[in-house]
Amino acid sequence: MSSWRTRLPAVTGHRLFWPVVVLILLLAANAIYRPSFLAVEMKNGHLYGSLVDIVRLSAPLILVALGMTLVIATGGIDLSVGSVVAVSGAVACLHISQQPDQNSLGSVLVALAMAFGVSLLLGLWNGTLVAVIGIQPIIATLILMVAGRGLAQLITSGQIITINSDPYRMIGVGHVLTLPFAIVLALAVTLLVAVLTRRTALGMIVEAVGGNAEASRLAGIRARRIKLLAYVVSAACAAVAGFMMTANVSSADGNAAGLWVELDAILAVVIGGTSLAGGRFYLGGTVVGALLIQTLTTSVYAMNIDPQTALLFKAMVVIAVCLVQAPAFRAKFRRRRAMTAGPAAPTGEQRKEQVAA
Amino acid sequence: MRITGNTLTRRGFGAILAAGLLATGLTACANSDTGDNAGGTAGDDKIVLGFSQVGAESGWRTANTTSVKEAATEAGIELKFDDAQQKQENQIRAIRNFIQQKVDVIAFSPVVESGWDTVLKEAKDAQIPVILTDRAVDSADKTLYKTFLGSDFVKEGRLSAEWLIEETKSATGPVNIVELQGTTGSAPANDRKKGFAEAIAANPNLKIIASQSGDFTRAGGKAVMEQFLKANPKIDVLFAHNDDMGLGALEAITAAGKVPGKDIKIITIDAVKDGMQALADGKFNFIAECSPLLGPQLMELAKKVHAGEEVPARIETEETTFTQQTAKEALPTRKY
């Protein structure tokens, strides 16, 4: 009991505590509304259920948000990811749609390589504007956010390109070992980024650049190169997310693919505890943030919340998460409770009540 | 520190302004480009029609533009075409240009519903008749424009419902319907929902058990349908406000191990190429057309109002409905 009491503040004080609590509350609300919500069954040899949908649909957002996390860690921001999603999906689908045999694995791989290459160039463009020319990140990436969507529409000639390619579909709706391929892919990229940044000095260098670019440069870090790299990685993540989103519906819609995903990604990063000022980043937090956002969207559909009020519902949950995460707000709340409950400091039981509330 | 911070913000603000100016400059260039090929007002007695399009945001819109351009050539009408790129200010500027150039007739698809009174008044004072296409304006003064040519979204919803009522005439038990709405608050979403709901009210067996917005996109339609299928074990009919959401839902239905078109009947609106293909393949069951091909009707109207003839205040686009059989026949000659 006593060890539980001493450990509790460490748990509730963790920056992911509140996002996870809200995530669990959302899932619980869904389960109460429809008990079968949490059920996962086997169908045609793979897992099937709302929970699987949530993770699968959040896979592209997780990817985009991972790239965004690194960019934000360097003190920047990347508004262009939604447009990069649209461009990469459009390039890949256009190439596949022009092939005589859309099911040929070779031509799908060529399409992926082409789209990935174009996206890397777009990332390089962002990185050059920010790191070499020194334009403010929000402006530099705003250019591509606007122009990129136009580019995507130019590639698709304003039409929705429908393709019929099994290898390409695999990225969005295929399965590996009963799991949706998109989930496996997102997990692999997350692990890769985590290992590269946390098992090497790279993560620390990124944080150093974000904390103070000039000081890190004087300390011998090539700050420019790190910033440039962050934007390229962000574009690469967005490119893969673009494959997933377009493969999910076997079509590239230059107008709608990845629309506003940059805002969701920034929100996921912030919910995950990464400061927009840069200098610190938490990959695990970003993943939880992305899952939370997708759970919110899926809940609206699953609980059949009226579309007119759905946005308000989403906004209220997000505001609640952000407020409850802010130490200043929590301190105010706790002081008020302490005042009404008497001078005694909150005990473990009281804290538990707060959690339940 | 504080001072540095301030200058930084100020510099950032300046950069935003610069970017904004740049964007405006770009649009201005694009506009003058389209203006060039229109040429000067001819001295001959050819009717000159100034047409301001919303933009090129969808395949539907592109087909609409092509139809207007082709019909103008065929009808021997000189067309001055302007692309407003989704911005009302571009459209107002285009209309003012048309007035200055003294075109014979002005036609446009309003980007938004409100804020047109001043510029329409200018056109009226210059005695240039105005035709609205595809979308309406909310001006209280109905004399500001001659007529509104466009689809009746309420009717599209009603036609969809009427087919379903006919189809389920023999059904004795309840028929469970799920609905995929368009973008929340948009006119086609509101009106199609209204038309459908009013028509099925006549039959107590028909019941909408779930209705959500799929934002008119395939991805949206698919994500919503996935949850509908899990939450409702018995879905008989899907009514989607456009083909694209229906096409997205198709994938969700197949993934859930059901047969679209048989286990779940699918009704959509629009009749774009991919939707018609799905209908011909037996995956959809019914499509109410929302045709972008209003060019010929527009040219007809332009001639009439130019000649001073009276025209009705509201003209519907010539539209039809498709079943699986008629879709197969119509598919080879579809333009969009």
- Look at B114 and A162; give whichever has higher pLDDT: A162
pLDDT value of position A322: 86
Would you state the pLDDT for residue B192? 95
ipTM of the complex: 0.87
Distance (Å, rounded) from C-alpha A115 to C-alpha A117? 5
Rounded-to-integer distance, Cα B126 and Cα B99, Å: 7
Query: What average pLDDT does the segment B153-174 reach?
Result: 93
CA–CA dist A232, A84 (Å, integer): 11
Q: What is the mean pLDDT of each run of 10 residues along chain A (357 residues)?
A: 66 84 94 91 88 95 97 96 97 95 94 98 97 96 94 88 94 92 96 96 94 92 95 98 96 90 95 91 96 95 89 90 84 75 47 41
| B226 contacts in chain A (CB < 8 Å) | 50, 53, 301
CA distance B208 to B267: 13
Taking 80 as the threshold, does the pLDDT of residue B195 lie above it?
Answer: yes
Q: Do B219 and A153 touch (CB under 8 A)?
A: no
Cα distances (Å, whole numbers) of residue A54 to A38, A170, A286, A290 = 11, 18, 15, 10
Q: What is the structure's pLDDT at B5?
A: 41
For residue B24, pLDDT beyond 50: no
Class of domain B153-290: alpha beta
DSSP B298-330: HHHHHHHHHTT----SEEE----EEEHHHHHHH
* A58-308 CATH: 1.10.3470
- For residue B18, pLDDT over 60 is answered with no
Mean confidence (pLDDT) of chain B: 86
Residue B9: is its pLDDT beyond 80? no
Q: Which fold has domain B42-151+292-318?
A: Rossmann fold (3.40.50)
**pLDDT (tens digit, 9 = 90+) per residue, B64-112?**
999 999 999 999 999 999 988 778 899 999 999 999 999 999 999 888 8
| Chain B residue numbers touching A57 (CB-CB < 8 A) | 223
Q: Which residue of B has its CA nearest to A294?
A: B223
SS3 of residue A104 by DSSP = coil
Q: Tokens for A185, please give them.
A: 């892919």
Give the residue among A24, A32, A9, A8 at the shortest CA–CA distance from A321: A24
CB contact under 8 A, A256 and B215: yes
Q: How far is Cα B330 from Cα A243, in angstroms, rounded to an integer?
A: 33
Domain ranges, ordered by start, for chain A: 58-308
What is the DSSP code string of A142-205?
A: HHHHHHHHHHHHHHTTTSEEE---HHHHHHHH-EETTEEHHHHHHHHHHHHHHHHHHSSSHHHH
Element (H, E) at B253: helix B243-255
CA distances from B145 to A326, B53, B91, B229 (A): 55, 17, 16, 47
In tens, the pLDDT along B292-333 reads 999 999 999 999 999 999 999 899 998 899 999 999 999 888
A159–B62 CB contact, under 8 Å:
yes
What was the pLDDT predicted at B171?
85
For B12-41, what is the mean pLDDT? 42
Residue A5, pLDDT score: 66
**β-pair type (A160-162, A46-48):** unpaired
The amino acid at residue B286 is: F
Parse chain B into domains and list their residue ranges: 42-151+292-318, 153-290
CB contact under 8 A, B257 and A139: no
pLDDT at B25 over 70: no
The predicted structure's pLDDT at residue B33: 39
Q: Chain B residue with minimal CA distance to A180?
A: B255
Query: Mean pLDDT over residues B174-194, rounded?
Result: 91
Q: Does A150 touch chain B (CB under 8 A)?
A: no
Cα A38 to Cα A26: distance, rounded to the nearest angstrom: 11
Amino acid at A212: N
B36 pLDDT more than 60: no
- Residue B335, pLDDT score: 75
Structure tokens at A333: 């709340």
Residues 29-88 of A with CB under 8 A from B: 34, 36-37, 43-44, 48-50, 53, 57
Cβ-nearest to B223 among A57, A256, A310: A57
Give the C-alpha separation, A72 to A80, whole Å: 13
**Residue A255, pLDDT score:** 85
What is the amino acid identity at position B33?
A: D
A321 touches chain B (CB under 8 A): no
Instruction: State yes or no: pLDDT of B16 exceeds 70.
Output: no
pLDDT tens column, A169-193? 999 999 998 999 999 999 999 999 9
What is the per-residue pLDDT for A2?
53
* Mean pLDDT of the region B53-68: 83
